[in-house]
Amino acid sequence: MPGPDLCPRPRGVRRGAALALVFASVLVTAAATNCLPRAEERPAPLAAGRAVAGLDPREGHTTRGGDRTAEDVARAAAEAQADGKSATRAAEEAVGRSGDRWGAVYDKAQYEQYADALDGRYTGVGLWVSRTADGRTEVTRVQDGGPAARAGIEAGDLLRSVDHWSADGQPVTETVARLRGDAAGSKVVLVLERGSRTWTRTLDRAVLDTEPVAVESLSAKVVMIKVAAFTRGSGERVRAAVHRAPKGAGILLDLRGNSGGLVGEAVTAASAFLDGGLVATYDVHGKQRALYAADDGDDARPLVVLIDGGTMSAAELLTGALQDRGRAVTVGSRTFGKGSVQLPTGLPGGSVAELTVGHYRTPSGRGLDGRGITPDLPVTDRPLEHAETVLSGLGGTS
């Protein structure tokens, strides 16, 4: 059920996937320690022509005829700015020509939203929505204390329009983008329906905290941990949930629809279930590095991981580690297949380009980019029920 969009998506999936692997200013430390630090620094504005600290943009991803994408993008932006044109638009066109599937360009405001998203914040009204069988948009969840909750909107209400734009038959992603808008304090007019009643509410958008980890006890012997994205602090929330689970209870780790996030948080989450050892390897500009779990995880508790086509990047990194290490049974459908690493490069005018510089692999050496992860038990119908059945076979239910 799509909720508040964690990062701007003006370039579709490519832009949304930019949330997926953020190594940013932690890579130098990671290279020295063979493990990403527990807390990454917030992405900061980059000066034009500057890449992440310690990494030279001239060593950037090569995609065609020996040309270096970072140089091409920066040059296109500089030339456009000198001609009085949009540097951001020129950079986007250069990335599009480069063949970098996951490259993305953010203007200054979008990059700030991106940083907020990684910190677990977003601008919006606090609604989760989904598409009904007849093509209408239904509210599936309302965030406590948010503008929508204060306006009396409830789960089950139908969202008919946003600022006079009909939500009927429209993609959920477009509806969410219109709900978000551009700034806290801006107004949005919603038309809603509940039974025979239709009414209009004008809400003020606000900066809200995301809720990336939800924990639910399905029974005395089953705890489900749903991770929507690996934003800051989510890894420790997973560890805490596992620690608080009743003795002998099994864990359903639900990564369906998880678009990724901070890799360090995914490694911390892996540490909840592994007693040390390799989580993943990755390369940046051809240099091989490794990520390791902490040595104090619960490696005996029954564990099933739910995945689907919306499971991406850092979530795939975690899934691959648990699968390869024989720690979990995976249930669901093939994951998205986003296994590349992007780094930011500052551009003229304050925009930022995120360009592919490498790829990561699971502990057994599998590359996931374009391939994804095939679950141990492929199912599309009632995956949660199948996952609970598998967990019972592992000793996680009574």
Give the number of C-alpha atoms closer than 13 A to the C-alpha of residue 351, restricted to the C-beta side: 23
CA-CA distance, 212 to 230, in Å (whole number)?
A: 7
Domain regions of the chain by residue span: 123-209, 213-339+359-394
The CATH fold of domain 213-339+359-394: 2-enoyl-CoA Hydratase; Chain A, domain 1 (3.90.226)
Check residue 48 and give its pLDDT.
53
CB 356 within 8 A of CB 100: yes
The CATH fold of domain 123-209: Pdz3 Domain (2.30.42)
Instruction: Assign 217 a pLDDT band (cuts: 50, 70, 90).
Output: very high
Q: Do domains 123-209 and 213-339+359-394 have the same CATH topology?
A: no
Q: What is the mean pLDDT of residues 148-168?
A: 96
Per-residue pLDDT for 264 more than 50? yes
- β partners of residue 11: none
DSSP state of 42: P
CB 6 within 8 A of CB 210: yes
Q: Which of 6, 50, 49 is nearest to 24 (CA)?
A: 50
Q: Which amino acid is at 380?
A: T
Between 74 and 285, residue with greater pLDDT: 74
pTM: 0.72
Q: How far from chain centre, in Å, is Cα 113?
A: 14
CA-CA distance, 87 to 94, in Å (whole number)?
A: 10
DSSP string, 196-215: TEEEEEEEE-EEEE---EEE
Per-residue pLDDT for 35 more than 80? no
Tens-place pLDDT, residues 226-242? 999 999 999 999 999 99
CA-CA distance, 224 to 278, in Å (whole number)?
A: 25
Tens-place pLDDT, residues 82-103? 999 999 999 999 999 998 988 9
Listed ranges 25-34, 52-61, 304-313, 387-396; the one with the highest mean pLDDT: 304-313
Number of Cβ atoms within 10 Å of the Cβ of 48:
17
Q: What is the mean pLDDT of the chain?
A: 82
Tens-place pLDDT, residues 183-199? 889 999 999 999 999 99
Q: 298 to each of 37, 230, 322, how far by Cα in Å?
A: 21, 20, 12
